[in-house]
Copies of this chain bind each other. A is one copy, B any other.
Amino acid sequence: MTASRTARERVRAELTREIVEIARRQLATEGAGGLSLRAVAREMGMVSSAIYRYFPSRDDLLTTLIIDGYNALGEAVERADAAAPEDDFPGRWAALCHAVRDWALAHPHEYALLYGSPVPGYQAPQDTIGPRVRDLTVFGAILSAAQRAGALTPPATPFEADPALAGEAEASLADLMPGVPGDALLRALSAWTSLYGWVSFEVFGQFKGAFVDLRPAFDHSVRALGAMIGLTRG
């Protein structure tokens, strides 16, 4: 039964995969705005209306591309983190940051789809919430592990966090970053926004013609942020 039904379903799955693949290639070359169902159909030798048997609308196709993008980015981050020495927490943070930057520069249009302006009105259905936080999850694992290893020590700073706000942060991030004190979470949040702010600036061209060499500047910023968070070697 499964075998007979699979005859149909297998070709269907294959065609679906092929559509997504062609769409991703179009996305990579033309950008999100240039993704056209008709062009995908043309490249597949199908007529445009046939695509709608597989994706009910252009936005649905975009949504799967978005999910794939989050997964690809998350995978890259996970790989980079796993390759770093487990107790070198500043190093793991730096590896995470460079993974994000490298992936974004290698896939600018997909990065724009994930972290740029929302494309249509906007969509973002619920299936996205899982892959969307894969990078954050890695970050949380690093922070939690550093905290457990006693390698998350607040640097001397003239600025203290409001205890109420710190508690709120602790509560709302308890699942992703368990055990991390609230003030460290707030510092980590600043570092996180700085990371994506930098990458967005660079990918979206705001840094055009600024520093001669952006890579060492990025690396310095990343390490300084790691120190600001309070990460030390375990």
Contact = CB atoms under 8 A, between A and B. Distances in A.
A211 B172 contact: yes
Interface in A149-196: 155-159, 161-162, 165, 168-169, 172, 186-187, 189-196
B121 A159 contact: no
A159 B197 contact: no
Given A118-B204, A165-B216, A224 B124 contact: no
Contacts of A107: none
A3 interface: no
B159 A223 contact: yes
Contacts of A113: 117
Q: How many interface residues does chain A have, given as a range?
A: 35 or more
Contacts of A190: 194, 198, 221, 224-225
A115 B206 contact: yes
Contacts of A120: 31, 33
A159 B224 contact: yes
Nearest to A166: B220
Contact of A193 (B31, B211, B221): B221
Contacts of A200: 115, 196-197, 200
A227 B196 contact: no
Main SS at interface, chain A: helix
A119 interface: yes
Contacts of A169: 211, 217
Nearest to A212: B168
26 contacts: A33-B119, A112-B116, A112-B117, A112-B118, A113-B117, A115-B206, A122-B205, A156-B156, A157-B224, A157-B228, A161-B220, A162-B220, A165-B216, A168-B217, A169-B211, A172-B210, A187-B224, A189-B217, A190-B221, A191-B194, A193-B194, A193-B201, A194-B197, A196-B201, A197-B197, A200-B200
Given A31-B117, A172-B211, A193-B194, 15 more contacts: A115-B200, A116-B117, A116-B204, A118-B205, A122-B205, A124-B205, A159-B228, A165-B220, A168-B213, A186-B220, A187-B224, A189-B221, A190-B224, A193-B193, A196-B201
